[in-house]
Amino acid sequence: MNRVNSDKRGDDKMIIQTGMRTDIPAFYSKWFLNRIKEGYVCVRNPYNPKQVTKYSLSPEVVDLIAFCTKNPLPMLPFLDELKPYGQYWFVTITPYGRDIEPNVPDKETVMEGFKELSDVVGADSMGWRYDPIFIDKKHSVEWHISEFGKMAEILAGYTKTCVISFIDIYKKVERNFPEAKSVRAEDRAVIGKAFVKIASKYGMVLKLCAEGEDLAKYGADCSGCMTVHTFETALNSRLEVPKRKKNQRNGECACLLGTDIGAYDTCGHLCKYCYANVNPVLVKENMRKHNPDSPFLIGGYMPGDIVCEAIQKSWIDRQIRLEF
């Protein structure tokens, strides 16, 4: 194993992401808490496996941990250990059944967990994701509007934000969910207009995730779902974020995505629409390789690894506290 002293690639290492490749709270909470205790994590580059980046998890340099999960319940007993960190939680709750989301817990249970989590971290640190939206005979436009309204009523007061997006037919999605179709522009408009009205009724802003500006005319916030402002509000602090390139997703993403410590093909929910899993067989194989005591989510150090230690420095402006 070879080591180098520093990694100058990227500039988003003060925001640690946990949910763009897998669902760490749902399946790997023990591992994550071990990493917090050890103070560092190692992440293998999914496109260059020999390249490993070691990130400090010290609260001195990690300004915020961003979670994205379909099941926060396994993490709830450990929230005290996360208190030194700023946090933002996206919890994805949709009304799809087991035919679409085979291993996602009962939605009523997840919504109760959402509320419990919000009571601890605050509504400004919580976001509800209702995505991806797709349309078929069982899941009609009218069905989505009705189910969204029921869920919004339950979650009212526990978040100020709901994020939606429409299904993207990535290659992995096409393979695992071949019957899925892109949502027509006219259906997007009907859903967007109705969702904005419902969200407003229950004290939420409806945000779009990488969907352009088409729904802005109905009152949707199309500025991004994980923006600098989102994290500043959660932290109640100004962030001095370096200039950076716009994210690449559809050319529409203005989010501060940060550094993701997860790994592809490791999410046990096995949702049909998932862009992060190739197939269930590979997911199960990878999950068997998981060691909660390893610095890596899957496996460990390998011969020939080139380990770079990330350069990290807090972005928080300690002179300014924000009032929202």
Contact of 93 with 50, CB cutoff 8 Å: no
Q: Is the pLDDT of residue 4 over 60?
A: no
Across all residues in the chain, what is the average pLDDT?
91
Q: Is the pLDDT of residue 6 over 60?
A: no
**Helices and strands, number each (H, E), in the chain:** 8, 13
CA separation, residue 197 to residues 150, 204, 245 (Å): 13, 10, 33
Q: Indicate the pLDDT class of residue 323, thresholds 50, 70 and 90.
A: low
DSSP string covering 144-188: HHHHHHHHHHHHBTTBSEEEEEE----HHHHHH-TT--PPPHHHH
The domain tally of the chain equals 1
Cα 241 from Cα 244, distance rounded (Å): 8
Q: Is the pLDDT of residue 8 over 50?
A: no
Question: pLDDT for 102-114, tens place per residue?
Answer: 999 999 999 999 9
In this structure, the strands spanning 48-56 and 40-45 are: antiparallel
Q: Is the pLDDT of residue 9 over 50?
A: no
Question: pLDDT for 235-257, tens place per residue?
Answer: 999 998 887 655 545 455 667 76
Question: pLDDT for 191-220, tens place per residue?
Answer: 999 999 999 999 999 999 888 899 999 999
Note down the domain range covering 51.
2-321
When pLDDT is averaged across residues 161-178 and rounded to a whole number, the result is 94
Question: pLDDT for 15-70, tens place per residue?
Answer: 999 999 999 999 999 999 999 999 999 999 999 999 999 999 999 999 999 999 99
